[in-house]
Chains A and B, each alone.
Chain A
Amino acid sequence: MAPTPPRDEHDEYDAYAGLVEAGEETRWAFGSGFDDPLAGVDVSVPPGADGPALAAYCLMLGDDALVLAQRLAQWCTRAPELEEEVALANIGLDLVGQTRLLYARAAAADPSVVPTLPPGSPAPPEDRLAFFRGPEEYRCVWLVEQPNGDFAATVVRLVVFAAWRLTLLGRLRTSRDPVLAAVSAKGVKEVRYHRDYAARWLLTLAGGTVESRRRTEAALESLWPCVEELGRTDDVSERLVADGVAADPAAAFEDTSAFLHRLLEEGGLRVPTGSPEPAPGTPGGRLGVHSPWLGSLLEEMQGIARAHPAGRW
């Protein structure tokens, strides 16, 4: 690093003063410091638990959150009102935060899940997992991949997702993996706000104008086919449920359905028909089989990072 040129200590008009404290690269711009989000946390895999399965599970939970966060970010400059734009961005930020911890946990539990980059790349494991995996390596559910649609569709998707994630994280607070348990306990507090935000909007739209109600009903019909996937189980979850590490997908889905049915009833909305029972083994996001929407979403999200794998941000 080049020596910092001497500057007048008393120059109160120097806009750069304080941004370039000698030797503190981490402080050069607000929020840009990359350090291990699990620094000082004991990340050893609990005895009897399977490290690679734990990593795969954390990637599933992280991928769900990251892909929805990216969708929510697409509302920036497009939301109906400034307050809603801020709310959607804030919810996305919480989900990015959860993703970061879950990816870091996955990388610590099984370093082989982290994509290899050219030597000297400064990208931390979380960024490698976010930006250097293709759609077939993502394990998110179809619900989060779907395009935003109108505000009603975004609200419907968010309330379904938040209700489901809350039931998962609530159960994971007692996971045998203390890191996953701690991340979940924090997440529950955040996702409760997300679910309330979306639920209140759902009731507002349902009881609003003829047009807002029509759009809400149309959103429910179009997104409902993605709901069934949330209750499916998979090999990784099954093994980890038996180990006391993961949440039982079927039980979590039951609670999610109970909440959603109650909410729809409150809004005088009909539960869409035609949602089949969860079919075990059906190809879906957890097996790396995705809707076409994920590819274009990742292309937009990953383009710059992939063009500069050794870039410093």
Chain B
Amino acid sequence: MVTGVSREITGELVPEAEADPDLVRAHVAVGAVVDPELPMLTLADLGVLRGVEIEPTGRVVVTLTPTYTGCPALATMRADVRLALAAAGFEEAEVRTALSPAWSTDWISEQGRQALREHGIAPPAHVGSDAHDTSGSTSVDLVLMPRPPAPACPRCGATASREVSRFGASACTSLHVCTVCGEPFDGVKPL
């Protein structure tokens, strides 16, 4: 039998009612690992941590999902998860990949959104139902995506901003300029 902690798509990681202390410890260790590119976010806040389990042999199995398929941070995340578990005394650990359902920025927690804002990065607008499109629809829109709403400036809070480029310094960000205070800022692209 596998003791498990599972992550609801929009909820927080909640250990099962009678989780053993080891599992809680493993979960705390993994939960504290941060994204190497957005270090104000833990992997749980980013929504890429899909599960922490302890197998009967004592091996910890962590499931991560990639943000963008080409994001080079994933290899570092995997290594950091192993390091964190080793530091917590779990020598045997495996990090698995879950490709489906595909990650969406809607999975970034409220706490994560606040942390982004505090660090000068605009959190992404909510994507909604399209984020978890498992409807089996085979066609894709022939029309272009509507422009996402202009993100509020994380510096001065003004809601007016201009998109400079939809592609920013990392795979997940776009570039904006506040039209009130004039500061440039990064925003996490809704995906």
Contacts and interface: CB of A to CB of B under 8 A. Distances in A.
Contact of A27 (B69, B73, B83, B189): B83
Chain A interface residue bracket vs B: 35 or more
A179 B99 CA distance: 8
B138 A173 contact: yes
Interface in B61-83: 61, 63, 66, 68-73, 75-76, 78-80, 82-83
A259 interface: yes
A186 B97 contact: no
A195 B139 CA distance: 15
Contact of A167 (B76, B96, B140): B140
B93 interface: no
A186 B78 contact: no
Nearest to B173: A90
A95 B94 CA distance: 27
A177 to B, nearest CB: 12
Interface stretch (A96-104, A114-122, A142-150, A275-283): A96-104
Interface string B118-145: 0000000000000001101111101011
B144 A200 contact: yes
Nearest to B72: A31
Interface stretch (B11-19, B27-35, B159-167): B159-167
A35 interface: yes
A258 B102 contact: no
Contacts of A231: none
B40 interface: no
A166 interface: yes
B69 A98 contact: yes
A95 B70 contact: yes
A86 B76 contact: no
B2 interface: no
A74 interface: no
A170 B99 contact: no
A97 B36 CA distance: 18
A197 interface: yes
Contacts of B78: 26, 33, 35
Contacts of B175: 83
Interface of B: 36, 61, 63, 66, 68-73, 75-76, 78-80, 82-83, 94-104, 133-134, 136-140, 142, 144-145, 164-169, 171, 175, 189, 191
Interface of A: 21, 24, 26-27, 30-35, 37-41, 83-84, 86-87, 90-91, 93-98, 100-101, 166-167, 169-171, 173-174, 178-179, 181-183, 185-190, 192-193, 195-197, 199-200, 255, 258-259, 262
